[in-house]
Structure 1
Amino acid sequence: MPPLSPTAVVTALRAAGCVFAEDEAELLLATARTPEELSEMVDRRVAGLPLEHVLGWADFHGLRIALEPGVFVPRRRTGFLVDQALAQAPDASVVIDLCCGSGAVGAALAAALGPVELHAADIDPAAVRCARRNIAPYGGHVHAGDLFEALPGDLRGRVGLLAANVPYVPTGEVGLLPAEAREHEPLVALDGGLDGLDVLRRVVTSASDWLAPGGCLLVETSERQSPTAVEAFSRAGLSTRLAVSEELYANVVIGVRT
């Protein structure tokens, strides 16, 4: 079988509805090691698999994050959460990435902060396996389990930076997500309950037990949900503010243990 030409790759992707067909084709052509692999990658993308799952990696905050099928793809907007965390706690030495998925947030924080004690946790086995690959270069530890239950108890009261990219899509709106997300990413990483804030509330309720004095919790949410999320942070006794990036459509609630 003759190798696919760049034009043929673009044509196939465009016919499948890929809006950025030229850019995607360039990435596929650069990643494939053989003509057969390129053909397989194009077929998988045309079939609807997320580009990052096809490539085996995602570009996040300047890092190449390893991904595998079935793992939540880190969004570009979540880089805003990383930036806010670094601005809020530039000297943090104990960092937790909760609901870590691929471990992208933890890896980005560790890469920027330098040597830290890094822990990440997720309830999904595929995510835990993937996160271990991405966290390992920073000497981090990845734990399997439900939120704080997964973490070593000796972290209580010591955490300087707690990032939690919780699921926040309301249950009734999961079906409205793009097919790439709803068909190829785990429901547990998307569905945040009736109003989308169930997991956020659980994190906020327990966060102060784990944060050091002056420690910071950051959670991504939507513009619509942000007033309710801010209220939950404040009710938990955290000094709270909302950071917004209109360019990235990103909303991050920041709470500090006083």
Structure 2
Amino acid sequence: MPSLPTSLPASAVVAALRSAGCVFAEDEAELILSTARTPDEAAAMVDRRASGQPLELVLGWAGFSGLRVTVGPGVFVPRRRTEFLVERALAAAPTASVVVDLCCGSGAVGAALAASLDGVELHATDIDPAAVRCARRNLTPFGGHVHEGDLFAALPGTLRGRVDILAANVPYVPTGEIALLPAEARDHEPLAALDGGADGLDVLRRVAAGAARWLAPGGSLFVETSQRQVPLALAAFSRGGLDARVAVSEEWHAHVIVGTNGGRAVQPGADV
């Protein structure tokens, strides 16, 4: 990588990033230079990016649904395609008053929903302490409550039967395909946020099985998945007592399974 002068002109940053293989070197240089507070900090950020760290972790934030969401080491970086999940949730429940973000990671989905809803009661959960710390930074400005624990087990019982939007950006990469992911994800994001088990649907099935107990009548569960997983995901939602359908964005190559609680009685039982 070319050495960087102390003043760090944009052209030098672009050259350094381009030599490291960054396809969008000009855009990344602009983001680094606008985020760094000093030339030394900018130089360190360029070094980290050139070494293969994800741009969002280098910057300390990710753009998501018009927000600047804080991210950090060991935390899943929100993907732009997941904005489609947010759009579908807001379209389905524009007056939602209770929102839960399961497997919240940085809390990006919960923050985006809360930013568009008036006076929403927001809860989020994640099993990873680093994600919980990060999500609290992002959701506290919205009055959000972040709970550490495994899916529904982390939620306060007072939420049962009250949730209007249940968003769950679960891991859905099959275990055997983790090695095929880009190095930025494979080497810098927590495995638990990526690995969905043998067919990628282990966590999705658990969420679908327990969701109806927490959803308000007419409330909906929203989960992102891949195109090939859609049939099995729809079946899992239906087994959980939800009216299931799929929403597709050709622009984002995104598939979101939507499961609505039609108000049918749900047998009480242990959370999964």
What band does the TM-score fall into relative to the shorter chain? over 0.9
Distance 1:19 1:226 in 2: 32
Q: 90, 94, 101: which is aligned to 2:98?
A: 94
Q: 40, 43, 47: which is aligned to 2:47?
A: 43
Kindly provide the CA deviation profile for residues 198-250 of structure 1, in whole angstroms up to 9, marking residues without a partner as x.
00000000000111111100000001111110111112221111000011010
Unaligned ranges ≥5, structure 1: none
Secondary structure at the aligned position of 1:92 is classed as coil
Q: 108, 111, 114: which is aligned to 1:110?
A: 114
What is the match of residue 60 of structure 2?
A: 56
What is the match of residue 160 of structure 2?
A: 156
Q: Does 1:230 align with 2:243?
A: no
Shift of 1:5: 1.9
What is the match of residue 24 of structure 1?
A: 28
Q: Does 1:198 align with 2:202?
A: yes
Contact 1:67 1:73 in 2 (8 A): yes
Q: 76, 79, 83: which is aligned to 2:80?
A: 76
Shift of 1:81: 0.1
Shift of 1:3: 2.5
What pairs up with 1:101-140 in 2 under 5 angstroms?
A: 101-140=105-144
Secondary structure at the aligned position of 2:259 is classed as strand
What's the Cα RMSD here? 0.8
What is the match of residue 245 of structure 1?
A: 249
Aligned length: 258
Contact 1:233 1:240 in 2 (8 A): yes
Contact 1:121 1:151 in 2 (8 A): yes
Shift of 1:4: 2.2
Kindly provide the CA deviation profile for residues 129-155 of structure 1, in whole angstroms up to 9, marking residues without a partner as x.
000010001101000001001111111
Shift of 1:67: 0.9
Amino acid of the residue matched to residue 145 of structure 2?
H
Aligned structure 1 segments of 4 or more residues deviating by more than 3 angstroms: none
Q: Does 1:10 align with 2:1?
A: no
Unaligned ranges ≥5, structure 2: 263-272
What is the match of residue 215 of structure 1?
A: 219
Distance 2:255 2:140 in 1: 29
Secondary structure at the aligned position of 2:245 is classed as strand
Contact 1:204 1:233 in 2 (8 A): yes
Contact 2:6 2:40 in 1 (8 A): no
TM-score after normalising by structure 2: 0.94
TM-score after normalising by structure 1: 0.99
Identity %: 72
Shift of 1:2: 2.1
Secondary structure at the aligned position of 2:136 is classed as helix
Contact 2:124 2:144 in 1 (8 A): yes
